[in-house]
Chains A and B, each alone.
Chain A
């Protein structure tokens, strides 16, 4: 397109050679030169130019809108707005943003020029501006960082929100405490049962000693089970002492 403008400009120039010093014609010439120069500023892989890629249908599906010149105007406006947030660029005008090479994809290149429209602003400034306002730009088009891509401008990914205490420790703490409490309860009840069992046989021993004196004794051996005393005492000899116990 730049070549066409240039050649158009030069054709006009050659045709109107006699009228070249007419002021009106000069203005037209200047206009063509300026547009051709401006067009040259915005080219794929030009200096300080960025490629933008939109995936509207992927993001919105049926609700996808068509990309037309109005949307391009909005884009230029958002970029100009972003540039205004950069120090020393508070007066950026929408006309300073140039778009070119719009494809079906939808993708295009853009540059931001200085007020005189003679050269482009450094890439670093544009990058800072876009990174600061990435969210606003995304929202204007109902897109996100993945569907509205600025190639060569890495987006700052939002870190996942980490609560102050990790969730897993809380759940771990709950289950751990329940298990410890249950274990303690079981151990304590086991100890209590064993203590009760130890007291039980000794009570039974007292009643049986009393019974021995009233029970008929055959061969000097009482008729209660011999192993109540754990086999340590031979009941055959023990009964003689107990016979002497007073009633």
Chain B
């Protein structure tokens, strides 16, 4: 008889673990971007609808499966059907890919956090050039925050082909990030329940996708967390709570992000005006302080008429400052977190304090999600009798962290950010959709919705609401299928995939095509997780056949 499964101390610990996992960097840097791109407040409509028809049902399904089967993802799906162990394996593979690259963001957050204790902040000033007569050229062409991100943090190469050796500074930060994750998961489940101090068909598709990935469905983390629950735990209530908190954190984060955008846009607009004023004052030797923002247009008109030849000389250099164009720059991902936010922070009073707080917040979000990811990998491994008989839990955790850290060093090379983007865009997206689709169909049609309903009733004591049944059996799978079809057709139509590379000579991003080997790796990433499902099913089928043939003659 195996020893009793560790349990959460209180149901609240479980809820906090789920929230900590679900509320991650995506809430901060993806959702506000989507809001901005798809009409601001009106994006909330498709988002909330998708939350109710897709997010909550699927979250409840995963939690219920974990709580009922009381095993990690591989064991849980094998219990539902022996041929479906592959779904669990696919989840573990995807979680493995995710943990490889996700912790790099925490490493970057650490880097920025450590650099926040300086005056002035290193990303607020450009470094000097070699003979100290001016500022560094790349920094002048771009901005000081972009320079600090692309040159000092990433030391990025001009393209994905030109890789370099591992950079020791981000490598050190990555090691620290993994050490911290290891420290948190060392004690197992008990330590991950931390208290956390967070119209257009494209809009609908993006809302559905955002809900899906924001809740972290399909990684096996939710199953892992729920497997440590008491069987009588009311995971329906918890599913609703977690998804609501996740969404409200997203909305709150976008309110903050929009105010940051506004601050940055206003500041840049005023700087632009100041530059134009200085240019005109110097060109026409006007009195210092005469030109202000209010009389700028008037004076420009006067100068154009009074001195047309000189004005036409200066005209090409005069930028048209517009607040709207500043506000329209929508950024997502690492660009938002590390460039736009730092640019806003550097212009605030007591910028060191805000910087420390901000990167500490990013770290909390990132580490919280990392713990969920590693739980998704470790729970099946520690459940498996084969591995846990040889190695104690600490050694398995350590080994997983070590392997991930070693592979993660790829992302600290000069071309590391390009590989990061590949993993971020392709490692989890398509595979997760397929995994969750198979999960939903497996529970509803292979295991049987009625049988599952009876299990839940026995576990939790109350009957399953008809709403969940309709969602699980019909609506959610349909939504996922349509998302899958859309993304597949999108990939096929757009042809070759492209990426944004940083051009140091121009000081901006340029679009380039992926080389063939990068495309091969993308294909491998997607295939590696998806292929697990049919391969394991096939393997189980063959094993059964062999066993039948072995026992057949004896009977």
The reply to whether B176 and A176 contact each other, CB–CB distance below 8 Å, is yes
With A and B bound together, what is the CA distance between A157 and B182 in angstroms? 46
In the assembled complex, which residues on chain B have CB atoms less than 8 Å from the CB atom of A179? 176, 179-180, 183
Is A55 located at the chain interface by the 8 A CB criterion? yes
Report the minimal beta-carbon distance from B274 to chain A, rounded to whole angstroms. Answer: 9
* Candidates A53, A160, A176, A186; contact of B282 at CB < 8 Å: A53
The reply to whether B286 and A104 contact each other, CB–CB distance below 8 Å, is yes
Task: Give B107-146 as 1s and 0s: 1 = Cβ < 8 Å from A's Cβ atoms.
Answer: 0001101110110100001011000111100000000000
Chain A's interface size range is: 20 to 34
The reply to whether B289 and A183 contact each other, CB–CB distance below 8 Å, is no
With A and B bound together, what is the CA distance between A175 and B179 in angstroms? 11
Is A139 located at the chain interface by the 8 A CB criterion? no
Is A246 located at the chain interface by the 8 A CB criterion? no
- Contact A160/B288 with A179-B176, A183-B186 known, Cβ cut-off 8 Å: no
With A and B bound together, what is the CA distance between A68 and B135 in angstroms? 34
* Interface of chain B residues 67 through 110 with chain A (CB within 8 A): 110
The reply to whether B132 and A159 contact each other, CB–CB distance below 8 Å, is yes
Is B5 located at the chain interface by the 8 A CB criterion? no
With A and B bound together, what is the CA distance between A183 and B180 in angstroms? 8
* Candidates A55, A105, A157; contact of B134 at CB < 8 Å: A157
The reply to whether A172 and B176 contact each other, CB–CB distance below 8 Å, is yes
The reply to whether B288 and A55 contact each other, CB–CB distance below 8 Å, is yes
In the assembled complex, which residues on chain A have CB atoms less than 8 Å from the CB atom of B125? 160
The reply to whether B114 and A168 contact each other, CB–CB distance below 8 Å, is yes
Is B394 located at the chain interface by the 8 A CB criterion? yes
* Candidates B110, B133, B288, B290; contact of A154 at CB < 8 Å: B133
The reply to whether B176 and A105 contact each other, CB–CB distance below 8 Å, is no
The reply to whether A58 and B287 contact each other, CB–CB distance below 8 Å, is no
Task: Give A164-190 as 1s and 0s: 1 = Cβ < 8 Å from B's Cβ atoms.
Answer: 000111011001100110110011001
The reply to whether A190 and B394 contact each other, CB–CB distance below 8 Å, is yes
* Candidates B115, B120, B285; contact of A168 at CB < 8 Å: B115
* Candidates A103, A105, A180, A190; contact of B186 at CB < 8 Å: A190
In the assembled complex, which residues on chain A have CB atoms less than 8 Å from the CB atom of B290? 104
Tell me the nearest residue of chain A to B186, going by C-beta.
A186
Task: Give A183-210 as 1s and 0s: 1 = Cβ < 8 Å from B's Cβ atoms.
Answer: 1001100100010000000000000000
Task: Give B165-189 as 1s and 0s: 1 = Cβ < 8 Å from A's Cβ atoms.
Answer: 0000000110010011011001100
Is B334 located at the chain interface by the 8 A CB criterion? no
The reply to whether B179 and A172 contact each other, CB–CB distance below 8 Å, is no
With A and B bound together, what is the CA distance between A182 and B289 in angstroms? 59
The reply to whether A171 and B287 contact each other, CB–CB distance below 8 Å, is no
Report the minimal beta-carbon distance from B509 to chain A, rounded to whole angstroms. Answer: 26
The reply to whether A58 and B289 contact each other, CB–CB distance below 8 Å, is yes
Q: Which residues does B use to contact A, with CB under 8 Å?
A: 1, 110-111, 113-115, 117-118, 120, 125, 127-128, 132-135, 172-173, 176, 179-180, 182-183, 186-187, 281-282, 285-290, 392, 394
A-B contact pairs, 24 of them (CB 8 A): A56-B288, A64-B289, A104-B285, A105-B285, A105-B287, A105-B288, A157-B134, A159-B128, A160-B120, A160-B127, A167-B117, A168-B114, A168-B117, A172-B172, A172-B173, A179-B180, A179-B183, A182-B183, A183-B183, A183-B186, A186-B183, A186-B187, A190-B187, A227-B1
9 extra A-B contacts, CB within 8 A, seeds A168-B114, A190-B186: A57-B289, A58-B289, A154-B134, A160-B125, A168-B111, A171-B114, A172-B114, A175-B176, A227-B1
